[in-house]
Amino acid sequence: MTIEVTTAAMAHGGKAVARHEGQVLFVTGAYPHEVVQAEVTEAKKRHSFARALAIFEPSPHRRAAPCPHFGPCGGCQWQSAEPGAQAEWKREIVADQLRFVGKLGNVEVRPTISPGPEFGYRNRMDFALVGGRPALHREESQELVELSVCLLLVAPLFQLFVDLPIRPLADRVTLRAGVATGETAVLFDDEHGVIHEEVAGHTFRVTDRAFFQANTAGAEELVRLVTEVLAPGPNDRLLDGYAGGGLFAATVGAGCREVVAVESDPVAVADLKANADLVPVRAKFESSRPRLPRSWDLVVVDPPRAGLGREGVETVVAGHPRTVALVACDPASFARDAALFTNAGYRLEYAQPVDMFPQTFHIEIVGAFSR
Ligand SMILES: C[S@@+](CC[C@H](N)C(=O)[O-])C[C@H]1O[C@@H](n2cnc3c(N)ncnc32)[C@H](O)[C@@H]1O
């Protein structure tokens, strides 16, 4: 079914919201305040999904997308919108999720920080391979789109991508670079490789596919923001949950009396040992309580997309910290966790969106909680 609708706000997930015959409609390929012709792709009881076919009245923030693959390629959703508009939509989405999901309507959501260039920022990218050439999925599809370029890659990876050797039998490739060190790795399928990256004056070893922030300028900004939230002092014990290779333990924790770091991935745990002067707790954070000290003064937690959940928040607050920095990559789970912290007696002082992934709907958020 083809309809004409006027979009309102941008929704979590990167689609514009419209109303049609009293029902909420999420429109892929549309931006806020546009009049679009849309095809309904999925009709549900409470809301429906549609895809923009034609833009009758475009947003003033529309621009020509620089990448020839924009549209079919599912890697970027917002490339045809100006970066300032993207940043503001991200701020609004965080505020909406806090209001509607977390029931926290009065929280200060600061203007989005854009830490680096809007293109050429990804120090890591995972691609499928089609006939040896890199490909990404079409949005919400299993179909692969073969790519001749990817404008999100940092310069050394852009060149590696273009010159990628053909491995006819390989299914996927991970490209990794240390922006400051100039080191690169091309990892086909399950191949191994190590690079080093510098953030906040500290050198990090990053092994294989272990997690490391994919935007180096963004990582630098996260360290600055978490330091600002926690204001660590020499008498403080810091708990770093979901510690990865030690980005926060080795930087924010440097000024603390002690750092307790929890991480479940064995490869990241080995990096963490090498990168920060500590013995990590290798465990799932939510169930790590028996292996942790009785109390801690400060916490930084940076969980995967699903967030901390009830058990994760209980683990954080069990040590009675005075301040918690929650680093989140999903605004809905951030809002859910913020509500759990509020119920546990903490106040969300402010939320700071960071645009780690321009051209996409992905949002990084730093939340500052105190007792
Ligand atoms: C978003 S990353 C953050 C890493 C680190 N804070 C950084 O900025 O580089 C999340 C990390 O949590 C780890 N992880 C995932 N689930 C976990 C769990 N249940 N308990 C502990 N660590 C977990 C992952 O291996 C990953 O290293």
Question: How far does residue 279's CA lie from ligand 1's centre (Å)?
Answer: 16
CATH code (residue 98): 3.40.50.150
pLDDT greater than 90 at residue 277: no
Model confidence at 140, in pLDDT bands (50, 70, 90)? confident
Rg (CA), the chain: 21
203 domain residue, yes or no: no
- Indicate if 323 and 282 belong to the same structural domain: yes
Do 220 and 319 lie in one domain? The reply is yes
Q: How many Å apart are CA 209 and CA 190, to the nearest integer?
A: 9
Residue 111 has pLDDT above 90, yes or no: yes
158 lines ligand 1 (CB under 6 A): no
Question: Where residue 305 falls among pLDDT bands split at 50, 70, 90?
Answer: very high
| Structural domains counted in the chain | 2
For residue 242, the CA-to-ligand 1 centroid distance in Å is 4
Q: 347 CA distance to ligand 1 centroid (A)? A: 24
pLDDT in tens, 243-269: 999 999 999 999 899 999 999 999 999
Structural domain includes residue 51: yes
Query: 12 and 104 share a domain?
Result: no
- Measured from the CB, is residue 248 less than 6 Å from ligand 1? yes
Asked whether residue 148 is assigned to any structural domain, the reply reads: no
Q: At what angle do helices 331-343 and 309-318 cross, to 10 degrees?
A: 50
329 is catalytic: yes
Please report the beta strands in the chain, taking only residues with DSSP state E, as ranges in sequence order. 2-10, 16-20, 23-28, 35-43, 47-57, 108-109, 124-130, 133-137, 144-146, 172-177, 184-188, 194-199, 202-207, 237-241, 258-263, 281-282, 298-301, 323-328, 347-354, 364-370
Tens of pLDDT, residue by residue over 331-371, are 999 999 999 999 999 999 999 999 999 999 999 999 999 99
Which of 25, 44, 60 finishes a domain? 60
Q: Where residue 53 sits, what CATH number does that domain have?
A: 2.40.50.140
Mark whether 7 and 46 lie in a shared domain.
yes
Task: Tell me if 264 CB under 6 Å of ligand 1.
Answer: yes
Whether 169 is in a domain gets the answer: no
Question: Domain range spanning residue 25?
Answer: 2-60
Same domain, 56 and 88: no
Q: To test ligand 1's pocket by mutation, which of 124, 205, 209, 264 has the most ligand atoms within 8 angstroms of CB?
A: 264
What is the token pair recorded at 84? 């300032």
